[in-house]
Structure 1
Amino acid sequence: MSHLLTPLQAGSLCLANRLIMPPMATSKAEADGKVSRAILDYYQEKSAGGYFSLIIIEHSFIQQAGKASERQLSVADDSVIDGLQELAAVIHRNGSKAVMQINHAGSAAITEVTGVRPVGPSAVKNPRKGGIPHELSQTEIHEIVAEFGAAARRVKQAGFDGVEIHSAHGYFLNQFFSPLTNRRTDEYGGDVLGRIRIHLEAIKAVRAAVGGDFPILLRLGACDYAEGGTTATDSQIAAKEFAKAGVAILDISGGFSGYTIPGNNEQGYFAPLSAAVKQVVAMPVIVTGGVIDAQAAEQLLALGKADLIGVGRAVLQDSLWAKKAIESFQ
């Protein structure tokens, strides 16, 4: 049997194959962040046939101050749960598992969208976008951590199979992880263990909200590809702590480089990062980035670079991509 078609068990999450659809923002939600007909139709089309073992829903804001863009999905209050139940049901009917990604934009948010001043670990400019944020007090940090827990509770109530905490692409938790934006001198700054203190608190809050056997995934911006930024070594240290904290799957992407690496278009361009993380943890690792043909996905698995392959842009362009990929190995 091909590697791509091999089932995988991660905690209580049983995946039929190794192909997943990663979170990609659609800007198709209602203006208030509720699930829209357009969102339901989009995920119906992309998940048809159940060829992806797992669909990870695009990043969804946990509070208004953390909203990244117009028409972003919301998981910020209980009024969204009914719509999210419909969304989970669409994917389940098609035969795939569904996980929701929860996020706070931090200093990447803009006041025109949120209505409030952006916040961050330190009063330094976000390298990707935005101005200088309000530097959070420890009390404010604890409040946001609690919002991650509340958002995860809603995800579980809506019937999803797991929740993914977003710490990549220069968003809030990634801003704490990266020395480019975290200049704090308290226990939330300094070395890697200080900079991931908030991650561990968020994982703990999520676990308290969802119970012991609900899978928690974490998307890690594993390298900034920038002078003075995070490195693969930092991510190995972080990954070991996330494993101890009970994360079921680590989802590897870029940090302040975003979901690309400047000047690198090879298929699976984040594979050196996922391979480095796999050296130090036993949990399954997802790699996403530039995979456009099934043979490349198979090769990444065969070489042990990752356990699960996320295919994004190829699926945006061709909704039948996953069907063709799976059938090519049957």
Structure 2
Amino acid sequence: MAKLLNPLKIKNLTLTNRLVMPPMATAKAENDGKVSQGVLEYYNEKSNGGYISLIIIEHSFIMQQGKASENQLSAADDSTVEGLRKLADTIHKNGSKAVMQLNHAGSAAKFEVTGKEVVGPSAVANPRMGNVPKQLSVEDIKDIINAFKEAARRTKEAGFDGVEIHSAHGYLLNQFFSPLTNKRTDEYGGQVQNRIKIHSEVIKAVREAVGEDFPILLRLGAADYMEGGSTAEDSKIAVVEFEKAGVDIIDISGGFNGYIVPGAKEQGYFAPLTEAVKSVINIPVILTGGIVDAEAAEVLLTEEKADLIGVGRAIYKDSNWAQNAIESLR
């Protein structure tokens, strides 16, 4: 049997195959971040037939200060739960599992969007935006950790199958991980172990909120592909700690380079990173990055570059992609 068709069980989550739709922002939410009819229709179309075993919902903000863009989904207060429940139900009815991705944009946020002061690990320019945020105090960090915890509680209450902590694409947790934006001299800066202290604390807080059986995923921007940025070696150290802290699945992407690798043409261009982190941990790893053919996904799984394959743009462009891919391998 094709490896893409193999089921996988993680805690109380059973996936029918190895195909994942990674989080992709739609900007379809209401102005206040609540689930709109447009959001429901979009995910209903993508999950139709249940061919995608796992759908990870686009990044949702955990507090107003961490909102990344207009019409972004919210998990920032209890009033969002009702709409999120409809979203989880819509995906479940079609036969797919649903995970909610939680995020704080940090210095990638804009005052025009949030109405709040822009913050980050250190008062240094964001490499992508150029703006200099206010450095977070330890007290501020504790508030953010608590916001992740509360958003995770809402995720479970809404009936999702798991929660993903976002530390990729140059957002707040990724800003702590990257030496480009983390110049702190306290316990949250310096060596990799210090730069991921906030991650470990978020994971612990989320676990307290959701209980032992609820899967926690973490999306890591595993390399910045920039001079002085984070590297695969940093990520190998980090993922070992994440596994110890209680993460169930590691989802690999880029750091300040976003979801692309400069100059990469091959399908599954984050494979060198997933292979590196897979060598040091025992939990499943998701590989995304330019995968457009079922055969390419199959090869990456066969070569043990990853345990799960994320297909984003191809599914975004063609809602029948998953059905055609699965049927071609049967």
Q: TM tier, shorter chain?
A: over 0.9
| 2:123 corresponds to | 123
Shift of 1:11: 2.2
Report the counterpart of residue 296 of structure 1 in structure 2. Answer: 296
State the Cα distance separating 1:130 from its structure 2 match: 5.0
CA distance in 2, matches of 1:294, 1:329: 8
Displacement of 1:2 in angstroms is 0.5
Structure 2 Cα separation of the partners of residues 191 and 235 of structure 1: 12
Q: Is the 8 A contact 1:109 1:130 kept in 2?
A: no
For 2:42, the equivalent position in structure 1 comes to: 42
Task: Give yes or no for contact 1:107–1:130 (8 Å, CA) kept in 2.
Answer: no
Scaled by the length of structure 2, what TM-score is found? 0.99
What is the aligned-residue RMSD (CA, Å)?
0.6
The answer as to 2:70 corresponding to 1:70 is yes
The gaps in structure 2 that reach 5 residues or longer are: none
Q: Deviations over 1:44-69 (max 9, x none)?
A: 00000000100000000000000000
- Partner residue of 1:30? 30
Aligned to 1:149: 149
Give the aligned residue type for 1:106: G
1:74-129 per-position Cα deviation (integer Å, ceiling 9, x unaligned): 00000000000000000000000000000000000000000012100000111112
Q: Which amino acid aligns with 1:98?
A: A
Distance in 1 (alpha carbons) for counterparts of 2:133 and 2:276: 32
* Alpha-carbon displacement from aligned partner over 1:158-187 (angstroms, at most 9, x marks no partner): 000000000000000000000000000000
Alignment of 1:235-314 (within 5 A): 235-314=235-314
Q: Which residue of 2 aligns with 1:162?
A: 162
Q: How many residues align?
A: 330
Task: Indicate yes or no: 2:230 matched with 1:206.
Answer: no
Cα distance in 1 between the residues matched to 2:195 and 2:187: 8
Question: What whole-Å deviation, never above 9, does each CA across 1:199-247 have from its counterpart, x for those lacking one?
Answer: 0000011011111111000000000001100000100000000011110
Q: Could you tell me how far 1:12 is from its partner in structure 2? A: 2.1
The Cα shift of 1:36 comes to 0.1
For 1:15, give the aligned amino acid: L
Query: What whole-Å deviation, never above 9, does each CA across 1:239-297 have from its counterpart, x for those lacking one?
Result: 00001111010000000010001111210000100000000001000011000000000
Query: Aligned partners of 2:142, 2:117: CA distance in 1, in Å?
Result: 18
Partner of 1:219: 219
Counterpart residue number, 1:137: 137
Matches of 1:308 and 1:213, distance apart in 2: 20
**Quick one: distance in 1 between partners of 2:41 and 2:197?**
39
Query: 1:110, 1:130 within 8 Å by CA — same for their partners in 2?
Result: no
Partner of 1:85: 85
DSSP-derived class of the 1:275 partner: helix
Work out the percentage of aligned pairs sharing the same amino acid.
69
In structure 2, C-alpha distance between the alignment counterparts of 1:316 and 1:9, rounded to whole Å: 26
Secondary structure, aligned partner of 1:44: helix
**Paired residue secondary structure (1:199):** helix
For residues 134-168 of structure 1, the C-alpha deviation after alignment (integer angstroms, 9 at most, x for no partner) is: 10000110010000000000000000000000000
In the alignment, what sits opposite 1:177?
177
Q: Is the 8 A contact 1:4 1:18 kept in 2?
A: yes
Cα distance in 2, alignment partners of residues 10 and 168 from structure 1: 22
What's the secondary structure of 2:4's corresponding residue? coil
Question: In structure 2, what residue type is equivalent to 1:182?
Answer: N
What is the letter of the counterpart of residue 80 of structure 1? T
Amino acid at match of 2:157: Q
Gaps of 5+ in 1: none
Aligned to 2:104: 104
Alignment-derived partner of residue 4 in structure 1: 4
- Residue type of the partner of 2:184? R
TM-score normalised over the length of structure 1 = 0.99
Q: Which amino acid aligns with 1:150?
A: E
